[in-house]
Structure 1
Amino acid sequence: MADFDLEALSLGELKKMQKDVAKAISTFEDRQKAEARAKVEALARKLGYSLAELVSTETKFSRAPAAAKYRHPENPALTWSGRGRKPQWFMEAQETGKTVSDLAIS
């Protein structure tokens, strides 16, 4: 590592050095990851594979939309699957005396 005589540097040089050090610190982890990835890719190529073949990153599962279980009494376009927060119309219908079975889709 280089030794610097910080007393001999001007304010502009010190600020530039401070900016360069901050940038080096912020990108350190990214540089380390890139170096590790390059090593792993080289090893995979040496064994006759690509990194993508060895690491299956394509297995994202998404939940299918749930079927509607409840329908608004006056507006059939408003539905609710029963998952998540109750919609306002559902709570208002219950407050007016409707039961869950009254709102259920048959």
Structure 2
Amino acid sequence: MAIDLKSLNHNQLSDLIARAKARQEELVKEKASKLRDKINALVKAEGFGLDEVFGRAGGRGKARGKVKAKYRNPADPAQTWTGRGKRPRWFNAALSAGKKEKDLLIG
């Protein structure tokens, strides 16, 4: 199926490109689906489940529970921080005011 690209105007060419990209995406999805089915069949044939082989679906390994707060804002006891991630503003402000990390620890 040879298409004479020189005979197409701008709109026709844009439409052809859009349809070709859509078809390309369909082919990728079909191929991925077939591969997924093959992998699933192989895993089942070996007597395993997908999560046993690949881990938990939708995650990056073991789920983490909630972490207990480690620091408390002396000016507002409702504000706490676990010590993970970016430091809160109140924590940085307290350090700038001369407090030490150990002063902000929760009992």
**Could you say which TM-score interval applies, normalised by the shorter chain?**
0.5 to 0.7
Give the 3 Å change call, closer, same or farther, for CA 38–70 of structure 1 in structure 2.
closer
Any stretches of 5+ residues in structure 1 without a counterpart?
A: none
- When normalised by structure 2's length, the TM-score is 0.67
Q: In the TM superposition, what whole-angstrom CA distance separates every residue of 1:63-92 from its partner, at most 9, and x where no partner exists?
A: 112111111112110011111111110111
CA-atom RMSD in angstroms? 3.0
Greater radius of gyration (CA): 1
Any stretches of 5+ residues in structure 2 without a counterpart?
A: none
> 1:26 Cα shift?
2.4
- When normalised by structure 1's length, the TM-score is 0.67
- Is this contact kept in 2: 1:72–1:90, CA < 8 A? yes
Residue in 1 that maps onto 2:103? 102
CA distance in 1 between partners of 2:65 and 2:102 (Å): 25
> What percent of counterpart residues are identical?
28
Number of residue equivalences: 99
Dislocated runs of 4+, deviation >6 Å? none
Q: In the TM superposition, what whole-angstrom CA distance separates every residue of 1:13-40 from its partner, at most 9, and x where no partner exists?
A: 7665443322112222111112223445
